[in-house]
Amino acid sequence: MPELDNGEMNEHPTEPHQSLPDPPEPAPTSGWPPPPPPTLSPSQPYPPASPPPAARRPSRIVAAILAALLLLGAGAGLGWGLTRDQGSSTAIGGSSNGQAATSLDVQAIADRVEPAVVDINTEIQGPFGQIGRGAGTGMLVTSSGEVLTNNHVIQGATKIEVSITGRSGTYEASVVGVDFRDDVALLQVQGVSGLPTVRLADSSDLVLGQEVVAIGNALGQGGSPSVTEGTVSALDRSITVGGGMGGSEQLSGLIQMDAPIQPGDSGGPLVDSSARVVGMITAAARSNFGQSASSIGFAIPSNDALGILGQIRSGNETGSIVIGPPGFLGVATDDLESETAPRLGLNATSGALVLSVRPGSPAASAGITPRSVITAIDGQRVSSADALGTAIYRHDPGEQIRVTWVDRSGTHSATVRLITSPIAV
């Protein structure tokens, strides 16, 4: 997973019989952290991040690799997801009985899965016009070019390109829909057909100690995917990943494995001994800031991903699932910490702290500035960056919302008309 620092992670095992030490901080596998954004004070941390989100999405954790050109950090994250193959003749993999393998032929397994694993490369325009680049991993779930990946891999991207094994050049991709809370995105690659696809196992058959293989675009280098092996060390794990431009994220029901994970692996498959996908790599724990690889990783179970994909494909928008372009306010935010408000001279105890405002955006037109705090949308209290993201994503481009914010001069409100997000859709 990428070296993106999502801040301190506190995970809480949901299984009482598990007696596992807390792993170090989970970090997104989205890439190398760019220089941090301007700090509000020496004691206000700004963890590195992956693709800079124009508007905070509530969920994320592993995968893109960012170039140092991206000066303003954004959210990084991990995700999961897969679609059960519908009998495609090009589907890769066999059946899975959920039993722990006694020994794995890792290369043989990788050879069966790799043709359906793609590299995802993005361009991200920062709020001040700077261009950053990200890289992550995706999985082909239909022969016509649907790709499952993490939302954080493509969040805020103005351009998405996919490299497919066995095909020259790159292909443009668009976003079909995302679940910003669960960090899932479904892409459509343009102008392709007859592609191999991954096959899914029943993730409820996973057992502790089962051997698994993790595959991804480690370090965003492209070419043949990296392959590592490990075992399932815990099931149904709950973690909190904090930091970045979007505050903390709560993820639950995760698979924990001890396979080495690196930046760029986000969105990659976690597969069993029969070369079937049991989960999507979504987060990693790291013990120090400079560490690139992690020996503790997390993945979303394939069964959980299937429900999300079904909703996206059916066009079923919910509180967290967005079909097509979401409404866009134009701010990058983090949670307001209790000790931060007094230092900034703000009369607020909670809310979404504005780190940057995109020029020409609805937020800029309303007069919202960095170091202010958004406290309400349409009269409903906003207590965190996640809450702001949820409130904004519920609205389509063109809809009006009333924003309330606090700055050094007091409390302000304005009605703004949301625009289309610059994300590639």
Q: How far apart are CA 291 and CA 334, in angstroms?
A: 24
Any idea of the CA torsion for 237, 394, 422, 157, to the nearest 10 degrees? 10
Q: Which two tokens stand for residue 103?
A: 């020994």
9-27 mean pLDDT = 39
Quickly state the pLDDT bin for 55 (edges 50, 70, 90).
Answer: very low
Considering the candidates 5, 59, 152, 226, report the single residue annotated as catalytic.
152
Q: What's the pLDDT score for residue 160? A: 93
Q: Which helix (H) or strand (E) holds 215?
A: strand 211-216
Same domain, 296 and 370: no
Is 32 found in the same domain as 135? yes
Determine contact, residues 75/56, Cβ cutoff 8 Å: yes
More confidently predicted of 97 and 215 = 215
Residue 99 has pLDDT above 80, yes or no: no
The predicted model scores a pTM of 0.68
Find the mean pLDDT for residues 121-132: 73
85, 200 Cβ separation under 8 angstroms: yes
The residue whose two tokens read 């359906």 is 116
Q: Where are the alpha helices (DSSP H) in 35-173?
A: 106-113, 151-154
Q: Are residues 199 and 132 in the same domain?
A: yes
Q: Is 395 noted as a catalytic residue in this protein?
A: no
pLDDT for position 422: 64
In a domain, 56, yes or no: yes
| Token pair belonging to 376 | 């309400």
Radius of gyration in angstroms for the set of CA atoms belonging to the chain, rounded to a whole number:
20
Q: Which residue has the higher pLDDT, 132 or 70?
A: 132
* Residue finishing a domain among 262, 283, 313: 313
Catalytic, out of 266, 273, 356, 361: 266
* Residue at 111 is within a domain: yes
Known active-site residue 258: no
Q: Do the domain assignments include residue 20? A: yes
- Which domain covers residue 117, as residue numbers? 9-313
Q: Which of these is catalytic: 183, 304, 386, 407? A: 183
Tally Cβ neighbours within 10 Å of residue 350.
Answer: 17
Q: What integer is the mean pLDDT of 275-291?
A: 77
Lowest mean pLDDT across 29-33, 61-65, 79-83, 411-415: 79-83
Indicate the residue type of 362: P
Does residue 271 sit in the same domain as residue 338? no
Whether residue 1 is contained in a domain is answered as no
Residues 32-51 have a mean pLDDT of 31
Looking at the fold, whether 57 and 160 belong to one and the same domain comes out as yes
Q: Which residues of 236-259 are buried (b: 16+ CB within 10 A; e: fewer)?
A: ebebbbbbbbbbbbebebbbbbbb
The CA distance from 215 to 145, in Å, is 19
Q: Among 250, 283, 313, which residue terminates a domain?
A: 313
Given pLDDT bands bounded at 50, 70 and 90, which one contains residue 249? low
Q: What is the pLDDT of residues 142-168, one digit of tens each?
A: 999 999 998 888 877 888 999 998 898
Residue 425 lies in a domain: no
**332, 309: one domain:** no
Residue 235 near residue 15 (C-beta atoms within 8 A): yes
Q: Do 292 and 333 lie in a common domain?
A: no
Domain count across the chain: 2
Amino acid identity, position 288: N
pLDDT value for 47: 26
CATH of residue 284? 2.40.10.120
pLDDT in tens, 296-311: 899 989 999 888 999 9
Coil, helix or strand at residue 316:
coil
In a domain, 4, yes or no: no
Instruction: Show which of 313, 340, 357 is a domain's final residue.
Output: 313
Q: Is the pLDDT of residue 77 over 80?
A: no
161 and 37 both lie in a single domain: yes
How many CA atoms lie within 13 Å of 10's alpha carbon, on the beta-carbon side?
Answer: 1
Residues 276 and 370 in one domain: no
pLDDT the model gives residue 282: 86
Q: What is the CATH number of the domain that holds 399?
A: 2.30.42.10
Q: Are residues 256 and 353 in the same domain?
A: no
Contact by Cβ (8 Å): 145, 195 = yes
**211 in the same domain as 179:** yes
In a domain, residue 155? The reply is yes
Q: What DSSP state is assigned to residue 312?
A: H
Residues 308 and 338 reside in one and the same domain: no
Q: What is the DSSP letter of 220?
A: G
Task: Tell me, yes or no, if 266 is annotated catalytic.
Answer: yes
The answer to whether residue 319 is domain-embedded is no
